[in-house]
Structure 1
Amino acid sequence: MKKTFLTAFLAVAAICSIQAQHVNFEEYDLDNGLHVILHEDKTSPVVITSVMYHVGAKNETPGRSGFAHFFEHLLFEGTENIGRGKWFEIVSSHGGTNNANTTDDRTYYYEIFPSNNVEIGLWMESERMLHPIINQIGVDTQNEVVKEEKRLRVDNQPYGNLLKAVKENLFKKHPYRWTTIGEMEDLDAATLDEFKAFNKKFYEPNNAVLVVAGDLDKAKVKKMIKDYFGDIPAGPKVVQPDIKEDPITKQIDAKWYDPNIQLPMVVHAYRTPSMKDHDAYVLDMISTILSDGKSSRLYKKLVDEEKIAMEVAAINLSQEDYGSYITLALPLNNTPLETLTKEIDEEIVKLQTDLISEREYEKLQNIYKNKFVTANSTIEGIANSLANYYTFYGDTNLINKELDIYKNITREEIRDVAKKYLNPNQRLRLEYLPKSDQ
């Protein structure tokens, strides 16, 4: 009886927790096209000011890769009213923190301040948008910073070029074929005028969303936003790339050699639809079934039971135009890579043929409920989610609806989507090998 009561209590508590995660927000546009989203939360006396620009590596041109990531760094250099090298000093002296990140599809800047310093964050982001100083000194400085980052995080890291190896083979036409960090020779070859033109084209109010979230007074913040952002002129409308890849109808076999590794890796990558496609949600669930945790199918079979793999993973890399569904494995005990391919394929065929069990389905639903709660458990997480849903889906309220999408995915859909996309004739099979094997 006690056990039954406790189980019921925990179930009710979980439901209440999920319902309490409903995110209230207000959104509107300024005359210059800047989209504004406000989320009030008085839980703690902090506020985040963030700006997401709809520009990433896919907006670059061949021979000029790395521009978006470069600007992630360059736009901290200074503005007409913020001296060179003073950005981080201003933030820290007002009790704040800040950061930025870039993907193939967008660039995101944010500051977190005590709530009484929200105006500092708004002023700084408006300065970044309106008055950035882009000169040769800043370009040369950040060029060296980016080169060092690439050396540390990519070139000298074991398996650091794995994503590059996948992208170059999986995409032939689309800009997803190069990495976000880009190639250093492209940045070296770029002129100052090219950097200025890139800034003028993409870092404009009508290509951005401003999110202010946390302990805020909406009326006061709205006035600040109008004062700091309202007079920034709009730029020309940004037209996002619309480049289609030819379907993959025969397995692509490729090899990549890395001087920083001792163990080979086998990688299978399937080109999948945009993250806005319903099937992308189903592919998320398939990756969870295959490799999320030690009880997942691939880990349990290849690592625990058969002991033929040291590591195994299935990753659904969802992006705005296309997704990449990737499985990979590191062999154990000199297991041939062909054997790992065979064993992974067998597990995928099971998904394509048989419905997952009711118990596995229930576990899957619980995992996604937990992910939803975790993603929206902080002001930073909520702000990022709000910006993403508006930028990519045009529906900010997906922050409150997306969990229902996962909840309504059926076992039949999981089977059918696996059968639709995860077939050997639709993939890249990459052997990522030690340089010594070449």
Structure 2
Amino acid sequence: MKNSLIALSSMLMLGGTALAQKVAFEEYNLPNGLHVILHNDPSAPVVITSVMYHVGAKDENPERTGFAHFFEHLLFEGTDNIKRGDWFKIVNSNGGVNNANTTDDRTYYYEVFPSNSTQLGLWMESERLMHPVINQIGVDTQNEVVKEEKRRSYDNRPYGQILAEVKKYMFKVHPYRWTTIGSMDHLDAAKLEEFQAFNKKFYSPNNAVLVVAGQIDIAQTKKWIQDYFAPIPRGVEFKRETFVEAPITQPIHATFEDPNIQKPMFIAAYRTPSMKTRDARILDMISTYLSNGKSSKLYKKIVDDKKMALEAGAFNMSQEDYGTYIIYALPQGDATSADLMKEIDEEIVKIQTDLISEKDFQKLQNINESNYVNSNSNIEGVAGNLASYYLLYGDVNLINTEIDMFRSITREEMRDAAKKYLNPNQRLILDYLPAKDKAENK
């Protein structure tokens, strides 16, 4: 009976796999170094024109943090041929939407238009790259915008400082030690020439990838790309500094008081390897095993059964150079952080000692298959994945093959990765507490 259930589960998993279509794409380089990826999908009359730049918070001067995120805003200010304030008007009046986002490793800009506006999207992204207007009025305007974002998303948001606190203990020399929002004092102190120099260094065709995906005519799209992007000069060549963190060999204990919360949070964090490694994928599976849904090990144990926590979870925050594996819980009743850590450690030791059950392992594989299908279920997801796999992983075809890496992971590898990375002497224990004058009355 057990074998029959496993076989049935495998059949269902393979059925889900059949729904995942291979993502066809074409890629090439322009002479100025711009990498181009084209994906034709005639299923819907839309197109996404996107550019991902290999610049993030880790590329900043430690005395000028926040620059990469600042540029996420600044490069919507206008260009030589797009008047200040007109960017969003042009997009909206042509039935499109646009956005941008920044991480520690890259910055991503995109527009989604009806497919008959492919040329417009390409022209606008080429303008952003070739003719950005970076002047004092734009810097001053966006400075206020970013300050408001910091107040809303970090300073005044419950638990808004968690990532900042974890990063500063996880990393001592690597630029991952600060957040993408950066320091407002640094931005205030920066001169216009510093913003212009940052743009000149990092926002160049040879430090970017252009992705055009959707209902497109490949030949015509190539012609437009040649017309708009090929004339842009190659940027300066530079080499990124390599930062090597010493291993964490002794537990780190820290506390932080947040005036915006009434309930404390317990956090354990471990430094993990680059997202490009096999071990990073294995750790992703471990986090799914521990905390994906209400039937997961941590949630069921300390939230449902023992009622020691209101919420609990684990995730591997993978990045280009290093990752951070974070486990968290919101204590309930009389449970302390030590009580929670004891329960969590018991589950980690089980993974380190015994192979997880075949049933649980099959469930993980099914979740991986579902996530893979969902990640490429819309044109925006496909475009973002194509850009990321090229720029950060160095292999665009991972959009089709990464799922095979997950399929090949074994229970033994999960046990070994837990032994290697999730040990008590390798972690930060952070008690994230209400500020004393805000603490909940007992």
Q: TM-score, normalised by structure 2?
A: 0.96
* Among candidates 17, 31, 45, match of residue 19 of structure 2: 17
- Partner SS for 1:142: helix
- Separation of aligned partners in 2, 1:249 and 1:368: 32
Matches of 1:251 and 1:349, distance apart in 2? 17
In the alignment, which residue of structure 2 is the partner of 1:232? 232
**Hey, what does 1:382 align to over in structure 2?**
382
| Equivalence for 2:312 | 312
Secondary structure of the corresponding residue to residue 430 of structure 1: strand
Partner SS, residue 143 of structure 1: helix
**Aligned partners of 1:425, 1:13: CA distance in 2, in Å?**
43
Three-state SS of the structure 2 residue aligned to 1:388 is helix
**Match of 2:134?**
134
| Count of residue pairs brought into register by the alignment | 434
Shift of 1:173: 0.5
d(CA) in 1 for partners of 2:417 and 2:240?
28
Change in 2 beyond 3 A, CA 1:265/1:131 = same
- Alignment partners' CA distance in 2, 1:272 and 1:250: 15
Report the equivalent of 1:118: 118
**Cα distance in 2 for residues equivalent to 1:22 and 1:213:** 14
- Contact kept in structure 2, 1:202 and 1:238, CA below 8 Å: no
Given that 1:207 and 1:238 are in contact with CA atoms closer than 8 Å, whether structure 2 keeps it comes out as: no
Contact 1:58 1:241 in 2 (8 A): no
What is the aligned partner in structure 2 of residue 346 from structure 1? 346
- 2-side partners of 1:290 and 1:323: how far apart? 18
Q: Percent identity?
A: 65
Paired residue for 2:325?
325
What's 1:204 paired with?
A: 204
* Partner SS, residue 121 of structure 1: helix
Maintained 8 Å contact 2:261/2:434: yes
Pairwise CA distance, 1:8: 9.2
CA contact (8 A) 1:269 1:429 kept: yes
Partner of 1:275: 275
What SS class does the counterpart of residue 210 from structure 1 fall into? strand
| Counterpart position of 2:247 | 247
Alpha-carbon distance in 1 for matches of 2:14, 2:67: 49
Tell me the distance in 1 between the aligned counterparts of 2:92 and 2:27. 29
| Cα separation, 2, equivalents of 1:17 and 1:342 | 42
Give runs of aligned pairs for residues 158-307 of structure 1, distance below 5 A: 158-307=158-307
Alignment of 1:406-417 (within 5 A): 406-417=406-417
User: Given residue 17 of structure 1, which amino acid in structure 2 is its aligned partner?
Assistant: L
Shift of 1:241: 3.1
Q: Give 3-state SS (helix, strand or coil) of 1:117's partner.
A: helix
Provide the rounded CA distance (Å) in 1 between the counterparts of 2:283 and 2:14. 29
Q: Which ranges of structure 1 fall in alignment gaps of 5 or more residues?
A: none
Asked whether the equivalents of residues 13 and 369 of structure 2 are also in contact (C-alpha less than 8 Å), the reply is no
**Structure 1 residue ranges (4+ consecutive) displaced by more than 4 angstroms after TM superposition:** 3-12
Gap runs ≥5 in structure 2: none
Aligned partners of 2:13 and 2:366 also within 8 Å? no
Q: Which residue of 1 aligns with 2:100?
A: 100
- Write the distance in 2 (CA, Å) between the matches of 1:58 and 1:256: 24
SS in 1 for 2:31: coil
CA deviations over 1:193-231 (Å, ceiling 9, x no partner): 000000000000000000000000000000000000001
